[in-house]
C-alpha cells in the first residue's frame, strides 16, 4: 500500500514558481520568434506541416482547414484560430515583404477585412519557403524534438538560409515583454550580411550604408534617419513614419492631394479611422479646403484622393494631415527574440552574429552528412571495382557455397571451409579475399548486367565523381573561408531570385508645422437632443429658433466656444469635450453623437448631469447614489485637462443617481422605490473631495434603493406627482441624515 506524502510549502512560493514557468513557456514556446529562423513556433509548425503534407509550390492548393487541423493534431495544440491567423498573415503581401504561403481565396485586405473561414480558403507553400526555410531537412541539418504528446517529431528550428528575422520582421506579445521587429529589404539585408561575414569589425553605421533601414511592404517614408543608428545598436527605439502624399493638377487650376503610400502602422481598421479623422477635420471647420474624400484603393495599391478647392494651400493641408491624423505615426522597435534558448533584445550586429553562426552550423551538419554518404558510396564502389577484376573467382565462390552466410564469410575473411572449388589455386586465391561487410553485401546483391563493359565504365566514372565530392566536402568542412564562400554563393542565389526594389524612403525630414488658426472667442449655445446628438449655434441663431431648440433639446447650455462641456455619468466619471471641436453652424445643420468628441460611451454609461466647465468651476456639485450615499464637491476640483477623470468614488454595485449644482439655501428630497421620502437642508450634506465616497444620507431597506432626488429652493413651494397623487415636497417633515424617512400612504 502506497503511503501519501504531504509536502508543506509556502503558497506564495508555489504561485511564483508556477507563474514563472507559465511565463517562460509563453515567451519561448509561443510568442517570440527564434533569432535563427525568424519564426514563432506556430509559424514554424504550420510551414513544416505543409512540407510534410507535400503542399508544395508546384502542386495543387489544399484546404486551409486540412492544414490547420493537421498542424493542431500533430504539433500545435493551442487552438485552430491561432494557427489559421498565422497562416493568413504569412500569405499577406501587405504585412510580409516576403510572403511564405501562397493563399488562394479571400485572405483579407489591407483595409482590415478579415480572411474568409478556413473551410473556404486554400493554400500552398511559396517556392521561397521550400528553398530558403525547408530545404535539406533530410540531411540531419537540424535537431528534431518530440511533439507535445511524443508521437511525432518536429524540427526545433527550420534550416533558414536567409536572415529571415530581419527580412519579414516579427510582432508578438508575451508575458511581461513584447517584440516588434520591422521588415527589411531582402537584397539589402543579404548584402549587409555578406559584408559582415567578410569583415566582422563593421560597425552599425557602416552596415546602415548597405541596408539603410526598414523597408515596409506599404512603402511610406522614414523621417528620422539619424535615429536609426541608435535603434540598430540597442535594438529598441521609435521609427517615425509618414505616408506618401502627391499633388495632382486638375483642369481649371484645381489640385488634389493623393495618398499613394501609408505608414505600416495604418494597416487594417486604421485606414477607416484615418478617413474618419479627415471627415472630422472638415466637419469641425479645421479646414474648409477639402471638397471631397474618395478611397480609390484596389489590389494595385493605395490611392486616397482629397479633392481641394481652387487656390487651396496644399503644403499647409499636407502638414495638417501629418499632425492631426495617423498619416504620420510611430513604429516602436523592440528587437526581442529567443537567442540560445532565452529572450534577448538584440542589436543589428548581434542578430547577424547569431544568424551567421547558425549558417555555419547548418552547412557543417549538411556537408558532414553528405561526406559520410560519399564515403559509404566510395567504399561500395571500390568493392565493386575490385570485384569486377576477380569476378570469375567470386562466381566460383558463390557456386561452391552451401548458403549466403558461407559465401559472405569467404568474401570478408577468406574462409574457404565447406566451399567446393574447381582447383586448389582458386581456393588459395579465395583465402586472400578481404572485402568489407558493406562491400560483400553489395557484391552479393549485384546484378549480372553490371558486368557489361559500359556499366563498368560508368561505375569508374561514378567513382571519380565520388572522389571529387569527397575532396570538395572535406575542403568545405576543414576550411572556414571555403564554407563562407558556399554560404555567400547561396545567399547570392536567393538575392537574385527574390530581391525586389526598396519601397520605403529613408530621410531626415523637417517636422511638419501646422499652426491652427486661433478661433475668435464668442458666446455660443450648446444643444443636445435626447439621443445624444449635439451641435453648437451662435446666440442670434438660438434666439431666432428658441422655441424649437428648447422643445427638441434635452440640454441647452450657454457657453463660450473656448470652453469645455463636462459630462457626468452614472459610473462616477466626468468626460469632457472641447466646444471648438463640436459641429457649429446653422440651426438645422447635421448634429453628431457626443460620443465622437469625448470618451463617453452611450452604450455603457448614462448621463446624469451636463454643464460647461466655466459654470462648474464657480459652483458646488451635489452627488447622490442609488444606495443613499451623498456629498458635495467644490467645482474647482474638476479643473483638469484630461478627457476623462473621476467625478466621485462609488461603492461596489452602486451608481450615481443624481448630480447637479447645489445652492446655499436649497432643500433636497430623496424618494426610495418602496415609497419612503426624506427631506434635508443642503447644509446637512458635507463637502468632500471628489475621490471620497461620501456619507450615508438615507437609510434604506435591504432591497430598497433610491428612485428619485428633488432639489428646490427653501421657502418655496414644490410639488410632484407620485402614484397619480400630488405630493407637496415642501410640506414633508424635515429629517436628519441617515434616517429612513417617511413612508407615504397613498
3-state class (DSSP) for residue 578: strand
For the record, the C-alpha cell of 334 comes out as 523592440
Radius of gyration over alpha carbons of the chain, in Å? 40
CA distances in angstroms from 232 to 168, 236, 242, 334, 523, listed in the order given? 16, 7, 20, 10, 53
Q: How does DSSP classify residue 2?
A: P
* Nearest Cα to Cα of residue 742 among 726, 723, 727, 725: 727
Question: Can you tell me the distance from the alpha carbon of 307 to that of 327, in angstroms, rounded to the nearest whole number?
Answer: 17
Cβ neighbours around 519 below 10 Å, total? 12
At 462, which helix (H) or strand (E)? helix 453-478
**For residue 281, what is its C-alpha cell?**
477635420
- In 33-139, the DSSP E strands lie at 62-63, 101-104, 122-125
Query: Rounded to whole angstroms, how far apart are CA atoms 388 and 365?
Result: 35
CA–CA distance, 510 with 519 (Å, rounded to integer): 27
103 CB-near residues (< 8 Å, 6+ apart): 87, 88, 91, 92, 121, 122, 123
CA distance 222 to 329: 10
The sign of the CA dihedral 594, 597, 600, 604 is positive
Question: Which listed residue (19, 22, 120, 480) is catalytic?
Answer: 120
In the block, which residue shows the cell 502602422? Answer: 265
Helix (H/G/I), strand (E/B), else coil: 708: strand
678 forms beta bridges with 670
Q: Are 258 and 304 in contact (CB under 8 A)?
A: yes
Angstrom CA distances, 280 to 234, 290, 321, 456, stand at 39, 11, 12, 85
* Block residue for cell numbers 459652483: 619
Q: Are 507 and 223 in contact (CB under 8 A)?
A: yes
In the chain, DSSP finds a helix count (H) and a strand count (E) of 21, 35
**Strand 505-506 with 221-222, pairing:** parallel
Cβ atoms of 78 and 30 within 8 Å: the answer is yes
Which residues sit opposite 667 in a β-bridge? 681, 712
C-alpha cell at 47: 510551414
Q: Is 120 a catalytic residue?
A: yes
Listing DSSP states for 236-303 in one string gives EEEEEEE-EEEEEE-GGG-EEEEEEE--GGG-THHHHHHHHHHHHHHHTTS-S-EEEEEE--BTTB--
CB atoms within 10 A of CB 547: 8
**Grid cell in block for residue 390:** 576477380
Q: Is 475:285 a contact under the CB 8 Å cutoff?
A: no
Contacts of 509 by beta carbon, 8 Å cutoff, 6+ apart: 221, 223, 242
Are residues 627 and 577 in contact, defined by beta-carbon separation less than 8 angstroms?
A: no
Residues acting as catalytic residues? 120
Amino acid at each position: 500500500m502506497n503511503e501519501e506524502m504531504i509536502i508543506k510549502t509556502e503558497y506564495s512560493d508555489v504561485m511564483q514558481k508556477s507563474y514563472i514557468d507559465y511565463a517562460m513557456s509563453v515567451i519561448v514556446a509561443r510568442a517570440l520568434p527564434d533569432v535563427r529562423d525568424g519564426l514563432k513556433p506556430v509559424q514554424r509548425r504550420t510551414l513544416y506541416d505543409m512540407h510534410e503534407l507535400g503542399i508544395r509550390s508546384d502542386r495543387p492548393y489544399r484546404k486551409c482547414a486540412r492544414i490547420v487541423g493537421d498542424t493542431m493534431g500533430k504539433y500545435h495544440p493551442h487552438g485552430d484560430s491561432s494557427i489559421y491567423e498565422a497562416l493568413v498573415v504569412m500569405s499577406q503581401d501587405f504585412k510580409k515583404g516576403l510572403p511564405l504561403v501562397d493563399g488562394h481565396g479571400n485572405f483579407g485586405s489591407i483595409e482590415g477585412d478579415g480572411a474568409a473561414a478556413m473551410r473556404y480558403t486554400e493554400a500552398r507553400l511559396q517556392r521561397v519557403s521550400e528553398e530558403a526555410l525547408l530545404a535539406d531537412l533530410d540531411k540531419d541539418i537540424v535537431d528534431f524534438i518530440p511533439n507535445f504528446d511524443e508521437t511525432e517529431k518536429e524540427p526545433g528550428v527550420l534550416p533558414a538560409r536567409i536572415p529571415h528575422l530581419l527580412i519579414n520582421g516579427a510582432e508578438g506579445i508575451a508575458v511581461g515583454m513584447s517584440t516588434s521587429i520591422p521588415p527589411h529589404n531582402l537584397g539589402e539585408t543579404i548584402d549587409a550580411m555578406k559584408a559582415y561575414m567578410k569583415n566582422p569589425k563593421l560597425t552599425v553605421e557602416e552596415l546602415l550604408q548597405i541596408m539603410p533601414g526598414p523597408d515596409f511592404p506599404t512603402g511610406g517614408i522614414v523621417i528620422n534617419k539619424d535615429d536609426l543608428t541608435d535603434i540598430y545598436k540597442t535594438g529598441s527605439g521609435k521609427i517615425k513614419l509618414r505616408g506618401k502624399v502627391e499633388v495632382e493638377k486638375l483642369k481649371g487650376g484645381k489640385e488634389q492631394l493623393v495618398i499613394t503610400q501609408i505608414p505600416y502602422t495604418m494597416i487594417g481598421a486604421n485606414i477607416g479611422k484615418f478617413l474618419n479623422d479627415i471627415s472630422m477635420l472638415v466637419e469641425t471647420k479645421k479646414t474648409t479646403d477639402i471638397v471631397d474624400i474618395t478611397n480609390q484603393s484596389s489590389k494595385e495599391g493605395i490611392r486616397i484622393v482629397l479633392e481641394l478647392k481652387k487656390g487651396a494651400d496644399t503644403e499647409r493641408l499636407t502638414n495638417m494631415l501629418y499632425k492631426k491624423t495617423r498619416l504620420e505615426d510611430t513604429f516602436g522597435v523592440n528587437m526581442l527574440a529567443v537567442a540560445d534558448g532565452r529572450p534577448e533584445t538584440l542589436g543589428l550586429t548581434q542578430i547577424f552574429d547569431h544568424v551567421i553562426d547558425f549558417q555555419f552550423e547548418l552547412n557543417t551538419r549538411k556537408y558532414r552528412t553528405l561526406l559520410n554518404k560519399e564515403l559509404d558510396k566510395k567504399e561500395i564502389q571500390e568493392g565493386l571495382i575490385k570485384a569486377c577484376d576477380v569476378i570469375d573467382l567470386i562466381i566460383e565462390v558463390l557456386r561452391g557455397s552451401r548458403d549466403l552466410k558461407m559465401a559472405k564469410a569467404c568474401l570478408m575473411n577468406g574462409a574457404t571451409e565447406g566451399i567446393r572449388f574447381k582447383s586448389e589455386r582458386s581456393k588459395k586465391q579465395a583465402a586472400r579475399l578481404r572485402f568489407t561487410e558493406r562491400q560483400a553485401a553489395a557484391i552479393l546483391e549485384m546484378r549480372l548486367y553490371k558486368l557489361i563493359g559500359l556499366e563498368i565504365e560508368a561505375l569508374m566514372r561514378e567513382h571519380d565523381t565520388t572522389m571529387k565530392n569527397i575532396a570538395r566536402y572535406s575542403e568545405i568542412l576543414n576550411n572556414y573561408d571555403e564554407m563562407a564562400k558556399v554560404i555567400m554563393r547561396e545567399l547570392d542565389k536567393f538575392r537574385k531570385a527574390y530581391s525586389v526594389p526598396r519601397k520605403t524612403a529613408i530621410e531626415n525630414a523637417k517636422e511638419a508645422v501646422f499652426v491652427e488658426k486661433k478661433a475668435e472667442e464668442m458666446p455660443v449655445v450648446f444643444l443636445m437632443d435626447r439621443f445624444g446628438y449635439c451641435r453648437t449655434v451662435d446666440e442670434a441663431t438660438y434666439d431666432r429658433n428658441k422655441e424649437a431648440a428648447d422643445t427638441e433639446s434635452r440640454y441647452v447650455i450657454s457657453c463660450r466656444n473656448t470652453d469645455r462641456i463636462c459630462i457626468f455619468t452614472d459610473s462616477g466619471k466626468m468626460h469632457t469635450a472641447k466646444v471648438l471641436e463640436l459641429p457649429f453652424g446653422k440651426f438645422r445643420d447635421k448634429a453628431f453623437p457626443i460620443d465622437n468628441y469625448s470618451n463617453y460611451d452611450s452604450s455603457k454609461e448614462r448621463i446624469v448631469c451636463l454643464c460647461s466647465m466655466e459654470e462648474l468651476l464657480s459652483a458646488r456639485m451635489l452627488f447622490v447614489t442609488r444606495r443613499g450615499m451623498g456629498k458635495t464637491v467644490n467645482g474647482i476640483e474638476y479643473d483638469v485637462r484630461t478627457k476623462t477623470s473621476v467625478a466621485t468614488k462609488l461603492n461596489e454595485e452602486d451608481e450615481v443617481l443624481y448630480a447637479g449644482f447645489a445652492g446655499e439655501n436649497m432643500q433636497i428630497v430623496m424618494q426610495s422605490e418602496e415609497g419612503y421620502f426624506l427631506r434635508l437642508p443642503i447644509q446637512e450634506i458635507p463637502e468632500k473631495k471628489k475621490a471620497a465616497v461620501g456619507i450615508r444620507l438615507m437609510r434604506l431597506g435591504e432591497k430598497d434603493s433610491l428612485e428619485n432626488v428633488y432639489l428646490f429652493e427653501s421657502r418655496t413651494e414644490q410639488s410632484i406627482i407620485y402614484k397619480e397623487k400630488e405630493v407637496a415636497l415642501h410640506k414633508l417633515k424635515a429629517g436628519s441624515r441617515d434616517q429612513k424617512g417617511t413612508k407615504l400612504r397613498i
